[in-house]
Amino acid sequence: MLRVLALLTALLAAPVAVAGALTGTFASIDGGTLSLEDWRGRPVLVTNTASRCAFTGQYDALQALYDRFRERGLVVLAVPSNDFRQELATAGEVKDFCEVNFGLDIPMTDITSVRGETAHPFYRALKAGAGFEPGWNFTKVLIGPDGRFVAAWGPTVRPEAAAIVGRIEDLLE
């Protein structure tokens, strides 16, 4: 079982060609919109999240990663999703939960679908171009400064893992 998990993690971290830059906007949990184009020239780590997931503690590590690299240009985007039925009922509840329990100041979208026919256009493009779609909460997708898919990691790979940090550092140099 551990070998299968290790193989899947390695496959998810492998670079995959995506035709063109990933683009689009998300509704912000704070109101307004968040645009991937506004972050062009910077790497973006996009993570689908959920407040009632066993991996929710990774919010601390996502914030720490953002704190560590934000001055060098990294953006960490949290995308709350209820696709796996583990998110709170409203964006307001999610925002309050994250502020109270984790003190987050990373950019965060409104509750957003990440899988299937109702998936946000970013995730539909990711699936069409890279054949990748989140299999669970806290799946991380790294987008390069040029807007292209770089790598993805499953939820068992923590944000501070050497594989993720190394890829981010390479993009920030």
Q: Where are the domains of the chain?
A: 2-172
Predicted confidence at residue 21, as pLDDT, reads 86
Predicted confidence at residue 23, as pLDDT, reads 87
Instruction: Give the other-Cβ count within 10 Å of 75's Cβ.
Output: 19
Predicted confidence at residue 108, as pLDDT, reads 97
Check 44, 53, 119, 150 and give the catalytic one: 53
Mean pLDDT by 10 residues, the chain (173 residues): 40 42 92 95 98 96 97 98 96 95 96 96 93 95 96 96 97 90
- Which of 11, 17, 23 minimizes the C-alpha distance to 124? 23
Known catalytic membership, residue 98: no
Task: Please give the Cα distance from 33 to 25 (Å, whole number).
Answer: 6
Fold of 2-172: Glutaredoxin (3.40.30)
Predicted confidence at residue 4, as pLDDT, reads 39
Instruction: Give the other-Cβ count within 10 Å of 135's Cβ.
Output: 12
Predicted confidence at residue 126, as pLDDT, reads 93
